[in-house]
Amino acid sequence: MGPTTSRRAVLAGSAAAAMLPFLRIPGARAGTPGELTFGLSSFPPSIQPWANTGTAAATVKLMIYRGLTSYAPDGALRGELAESWQPIGTQGWEFKLRDARFQNGEKVTSADVKWTIEQIAAERSTAYFRAEMQGVERIETPDDRTVRIFLKAPVATLPIMMASYHLPIISRNSPRGSFVGAGPFTIKAQERGVSIELEPFAGFFRPGLPKLKRIRAIAYADENLRVAALRSGDVDLIEYVPWQSMDAIAADPALKLDTVDGAFMFLVFNGTRAPFNDHRVRRAVAHAIKRDELVRAAFFGRGSALMQLPVAESSPFYNAEFKEGWKYDPDLSKRLLAEAGHAGGISCSLLSTAQYGMHKDTAEVVQQHLAAVGIRAELNLPDWATRVAIGNRGQYDLAVMGTAADSNDPDGIANFIDGSLSPSYVRSFGLKIDRITELLAAGRAEFDQAKRRDIYREMERIAIEQAPMVGLTWRSQGYAMRRQVTGFTNLPGALTFYSGLTFETTDVA
Amino acid sequence: MLAFAARRLLVSLGLVWVVASLVFLVIHLIPGDPAELLLSQGGIAPDPAAVEELRERLGLNEPLWTQYLTYMGGLLRGDFGLSLQDEHPIAEEIALRLPRTLELVGMAGLLSVIFGVPLGIAAAMRAGGALDRILSAWAGFALSVPVFVVGTLAVLVLAQQLKLVSAGGYVPLARDPGRHLALLMMPAATIAVGLGAVVFRVMRSSVLEVLEREHVRAAQARGLAPAAIIRRHVLRNALTPVVTVVALHLGSLLGGTVLVEFVFNWPGLSGYLVRAVEARDYPEVLGIVLVISTLFVLLNFLVDLLYAVIDPRVRHG
């Protein structure tokens, strides 16, 4: 047979087919001045203003909504829709509103603030701050620019609470089922699960802001693809930079990396049963972990050891004397186990999740370190949904958890150590330490900063001794961007997820 | 024939109902509470009262059998329900995403055939030769490399290093046809690497088998040009098993493009299903599985009918 014709046809066909993937048509990519393409880590399941639906949703909320207060790029609390605030006695706060407008053109008034708080506190509300807003006794609106909030108990941290992305002020005249905010951007279009397009709100109260003419937020669930999209020029800015890519991004002259130690990993316990209902066993765990190894193994060295409560070093409430409160000391760990009657070691379950690498890797390293002091932990690594359910029901002995605090104020970690709160996977199960609960309440009610510092110092001392949770590592939380992106800042410490606030000053050259 | 078709249709509908019921049961049995998950995003402890309120609002506090009857009642009215996460109509979302997956799978199939068929013929015609050995080795390699490795390498080399293509994503056809096609090619080509190798192998062995048949030998003896023999006497006969294999693979790809959709950020049905399972969004999971299984059952139903047309004995079997 003479295959000449066939071979030619075959080769031509193959060559043509091979060229198909290279049909690159430029356009609609990053690099347009004044327009930002932002790689989100996931598509927000919902952008309901007052419910917690994750950090990706929070970032979008920070683009379209504003609260009474917020944070400056250095992390300092600043006025937002409120230009000033002051306490009234011990149980009241007065906020003076600035001349701002909602995206429907209406003025932001004290009536809108009152309405917002009432919606959050409503009986059928699913808002994150529902319980806190139900602690509001009454709200006075003497004029359009003044709102006075009186609480059932003193809350010194109310202005911090008001800075939360779960507490934006919404126009009381919003159409049913939608929410009109006063943020710097408005949603122009969205394709569910894919992308959200935003355009600037011309009536934003800060003169000259926002700088961008357009934001296109595209969800890239795969962290490696998110990095590839940045490096190939598809996007200008990405969030949740994976740790393994940070060195390469930092070394790339075309890119900038902005990281802070904001989120943290920790261990929680089942306090309803032996052996972790004994604080000596919990401390034995705390002293058994080589945290530097953990940072290297789980976070590629991008993080730092956390041997005390997770309060940022930059916070005025940081207690340097407890810096090594839970330092690695295997001998002490073994002694504590022996004192607790477990000289022969113990067996337990260690809950984490295989769905997120940082949780799985942390659990595996912790398991090895615990084994070295005689704690034989059997790993349970279900998917995240199951892990949450198991954690909420207390069906574990020891569990790995990772998150960020609500704020850089020590009250922001109450969720993780206050055992009087309802059972939750984010804190130890059934582990109530009355003195910690009392001190948290005292700190929340105290307006004098010096006294607050004393209260939280005492609280941390008890926490180091009782170990209601055990800090493991701070983990770097990173944003990466092209050099042409300016004005975007990763906020410090626990406020890293508030960095979306700086989209108002962001620009693309 | 009509009675046969009616019988098969009834069986098919029964199958769809069984699948829907099984999936309903399984998804409700596995741990994880959609209300709790939604309000716990970002490692945050939700207010239990808020979770309870959301459960009530979503109807999750109803007894399981009530939820089942409500869901089945909705299905009979053609209503797939609303997403538990944002109350988005599920039918609308499936209608948006199904064509994307079909397009991806279709393009992958097309590329596989474009590559696999001619290369399979070429290898068969030179069986045992250098070309055959090289192509067979390539096919073995392509089949053994997981699809996510091919995809990740493609992104790394073509997008990240050479900057020839976008790393991934999706642009609707109506907005920018050129870019839509460009973004489609990478994931489709990634699937086609493995599928093309399958097509190549089946085509090669099929051609070899047909080449041994008497009518082909007779044609060769008559001195017909090899190209004409291939075109007139080999190709049509050899393509039948290829069509069967491609159809089977494309069917399984309907719900099996998860990794490729993930690696290339292609917003199709498979990725939607995974996210729905992760969020324990029961109506979404049910709706997607139901659509995929219905397509499968429909495909089988059509094949059954085709068999009956080809071989009348099947109708009475």
Phi-psi region of B42 (alpha: psi -120 to 50; beta: other; left: phi over 0): left
Asked whether residue A17 carries a pLDDT value surpassing 80, the answer given is no
Is any Cβ of chain B less than 8 angstroms from the Cβ of A221?
yes
Total Cβ atoms within 10 A of residue A505: 18
Band of residue A21 on the pLDDT scale cut at 50, 70, 90:
very low
| pLDDT confidence of residue B305 | 75
Lowest mean pLDDT across A243-247, B134-138, B243-247? B243-247
Across B118-122, average pLDDT: 94
- Interface test with chain B among A60, A222, A380, A482, by most B beta carbons within 10 Å: A222
Residue B317 pLDDT > 60: no
In the predicted model, is pLDDT for residue A20 greater than 90?
Answer: no
- Higher pLDDT: B58 or A10? It is B58
Contacts of B165 in chain A (CB under 8 A): 21-22, 24, 232
Arithmetic mean of pLDDT, A163-169: 97
Dist CA A374 CA A367 (whole Å): 10
Which residues on chain B are in Cβ contact (under 8 Å) with A229?
159, 166-169, 265
Instruction: State the pairing for strand pair A346-351/A375-380.
Output: parallel
**In this predicted structure, what is the pLDDT of residue B2?**
79
Alpha helices for A76-188 (secondary structure H): 110-121, 130-133, 158-161
Residue A355 pLDDT: 87
CA distance readout (Å), A106 to A114, A117, A451: 16, 19, 42
Q: Is the pLDDT of residue A420 over 60?
A: yes
DSSP letter for A294, please. Answer: H
Nearest to B226 among A1, A23, A130 (CB): A1
Contact criterion met (CB < 8 Å) for B189 and A20: yes
Residue A456 has pLDDT above 50, yes or no: yes
Instruction: Tell whether the model's pLDDT for residue B30 goes beyond 90.
Output: no
How many contacts does A have with B, using Cβ atoms within 8 A?
A: 225
**Does the beta carbon of A395 lie under 8 angstroms from any beta carbon of chain B?**
no
Q: Which of B172, B184, B317, B246 is nearest to A20 (CA)?
A: B184
**Is A45 within 8 Å of B279 when comparing Cβ atoms?**
yes
Q: Which pLDDT tens digit goes with each residue over B165-198?
A: 888 889 889 888 998 999 999 999 999 999 999 9
Letter string b/e over residues A236-264, b meaning 16 or more CB atoms within 10 A of that residue's CB: bbbbbbbbebbeebeebeebbbbbbbbbb
Helix axes B90-125, B282-310, angle to 10 degrees: 50
How much is the pLDDT for B41? Answer: 72
Q: Tell me which residue of A414, A504, A388 sits closest to A468, measured CA to CA.
A: A414
The string of pLDDT tens digits covering residues A258-270 is 999 989 999 999 9
Residue A7 has pLDDT above 80, yes or no: no
Mutation for B interface: A11, A126, A425, most B CBs within 10 A: A126
E strand or H helix at A350: strand A346-351
**At A84, which amino acid appears?**
S
Angle subtended by helix axes B90-125 and B269-278, to nearest 10: 130
Instruction: Select from A1, A192, A389 the Cβ nearest to the Cβ of B125.
Output: A1
What's the mean pLDDT in A16-37? Answer: 62
CB contact under 8 A, B189 and A21: yes
Does B130 contact A at CB distance below 8 Å?
A: no
Cβ of A383 under 8 Å from any chain B Cβ? Answer: yes
Q: What is the pLDDT of residues B202-257, one digit of tens each?
A: 999 999 999 888 888 898 888 888 888 888 888 878 887 888 788 778 777 876 78
Residue-by-residue DSSP string for A252-273: -TTEEEEEEEEEEEEEEEBTTS
Q: What is the pLDDT of residue B108?
A: 94
Residue predicted with more confidence, A483 or B23: A483
Omega before residue A275 within 30° of 0, cis: yes
| pLDDT score for A27 | 39
**Does B38 contact A45 at a Cβ distance shorter than 8 Å?**
yes
Average per-residue pLDDT for chain A:
92
pLDDT of residue B171: 87
Rg of chain A (C-alpha set): 25
For residue B48, the chain A residues in CB contact (below 8 A) are 422
Secondary structure (3-state) at A127: coil
Identity of the amino acid at B105? V
Residues 6+ apart with CB under 8 A from B316: none
pLDDT tens across A79-92, in order? 999 999 999 999 99
pLDDT for A26: 42
Residue percentage of chain A with pLDDT more than 90: 84
Residue A5 has pLDDT above 90, yes or no: no
CA Rg value for chain B: 24
**How many angstroms separate the CA atoms of A224 and A232, rounded?**
12
The residue among A167, A142, A139 whose CA lies nearest residue A151 is: A139
Q: What is the pLDDT of residue A28?
A: 42
Predicted pLDDT at B175 = 85
**Residues in a beta bridge with A258:** A479
Rounded CA separation B252/B203 (Å): 20
pLDDT of residue B315: 62
Which pLDDT does position A8 carry in this prediction? 56
Tell me the residues of chain A between 4 and 33 that have a Cβ less than 8 Å away from chain B. Answer: 5-7, 9-10, 13-14, 16-17, 20-25, 27-29
Write down the pLDDT at residue A2.
38
The single-letter DSSP state of residue A204 is -
Instruction: Give the 3-state DSSP-derived string for chain B, with helices as H, strands as E and coil as C.
Output: CHHHHHHHHHHHHHHHHHHHHHHHHHHHHCCCCHHHHHHCCCCCCCCHHHHHHHHHHHCCCCCHHHHHHHHHHHHHCCCCCECCCCCCEHHHHHHHHHHHHHHHHHHHHHHHHHHHHHHHHHHHHCCCCHHHHHHHHHHHHHHHCCHHHHHHHHHHHHHHHCCCCCCCCCCCCCCCHHHHHHHHHHHHHHHHHHHHHHHHHHHHHHHHHHHCCHHHHHHHHCCCCHHHHHHHHHHHHHHHHHHHHHHHHHHHHCCCCHHHHHHHCCCCHHHHHHHHHHCCCHHHHHHHHHHHHHHHHHHHHHHHHHHHHHCHHHHHC
pLDDT value at B57 more than 50: yes
Contact by Cβ (8 Å): A378, A370? no
Output the pTM of the full model.
0.85
Q: Does A404 touch chain B (CB under 8 A)?
A: yes
What the block records as the tokens of A96 is: 């003076």
Q: A-chain residues within 8 Å CB-CB of B41?
A: 45, 52-55, 57
pLDDT score of A24: 46
- Identify the CA nearest to B138 among candidates A14, A116, A39: A14
